[in-house]
Amino acid sequence: MKIKVNKKILERNEDFAESNRKFFKKKNIFCINMISSPGSGKTTILEKTAKALKNKINIAVIEGDLYTEFDADRIRKTGLPAVQIETKGACHLSAQQITKALHQLDTDKLDIVVIENVGNLVCPSDFDLGETARAVVLSTAEGDDKCAKYPKAFAQADVLLINKIDLVKHLDFNISRVKRDAKKLNKDLKIFEISAKTAKGMQGWFNWLINAKR
């Protein structure tokens, strides 16, 4: 019975998520869980965020990938601490993996922990990690129909970053449609149109993050 097993996994996940949530509250850490398809630009957004904010606020990153330590290495090059979780094929991060990763960070000094989830718009939405807020990233190259196709990812997010807007002139990507669809699912969703590459719109995201922490 597949359904029963899945329910058990999710219940177990919820116990760890609750303990992570308590931990973040106790340490006064704002934790944001970033969800997106592969290649949406999450790591580039985080590299740019690290460079802009590292002298203002203490940030650490937990990187989730099926294989490799590439993304954690990219973050470390910016000067921020980063822990890589290699899921060895699993398509989402679990709250228990976050609990373990937090042991590898000097959390007394931290203001913000960013979790870069495994690239996948489907099941990461089902796994509460105990985060304070959730961000979903959608890049213009992926198409403007994603809110309708993956509603959970957008309905449960606090912030939507529409990335790679510098490419929009080459694509049939209707930003208004995405914003309309996303707001239909989630009227409180905060939306930023950004290009991590050109820095356009990034200041709004930085300000949101700093204010969210307060």
Letters for 13-52 (x = contact with Zn ion by CB under 5 A, - = none) are ----------------------------------------
Using the rule CB under 5 A, is 43 a contact of Mg ion? yes
Q: What's the token pair of residue 175?
A: 């930003």
Distance from C-alpha of 107 to C-alpha of 150, rounded to nearest angstrom = 33
Least distance CB 44 / Mg ion (angstroms): 8
Least CB distance to Zn ion at residue 90 (A): 6
Smallest gap from Cβ 110 to Mg ion, in A, equals 20
Q: Give, to the nearest 10 degrees, the angle between helix 42-53 and helix 202-213.
A: 70
Specify the 3-state DSSP secondary structure of 143: coil
* Whole-number Å distance between alpha carbons of 33 and 4: 26
- Check residue 71 for interaction with Mg ion (CB under 5 A): yes
167 binds, among Mg ion, Zn ion, none (CB under 5 to 8 A by kind): none
b/e code 38-55 from CB counts within 10 Å (16+ = b): eebbbbbbbbbbbebbee
Rounded CA-CA distance 152/140 in Å is 19
159, 183 contact by CB (below 8 A): no
134 binds, among Mg ion, Zn ion, none (CB under 5 to 8 A by kind): none
Q: Which is nearer to Zn ion, 50 or 118 (CB)?
A: 118
Instruction: Indicate whether 66 belongs to the interface with Zn ion (CB under 5 A).
Output: no
Partner from Mg ion, Zn ion, none contacting 111, C-beta within 5 to 8 A by type: none
Residues that bind Mg ion (CB under 5 A): 42-43, 71
Residues that bind Zn ion (CB under 5 A): 91-92, 123
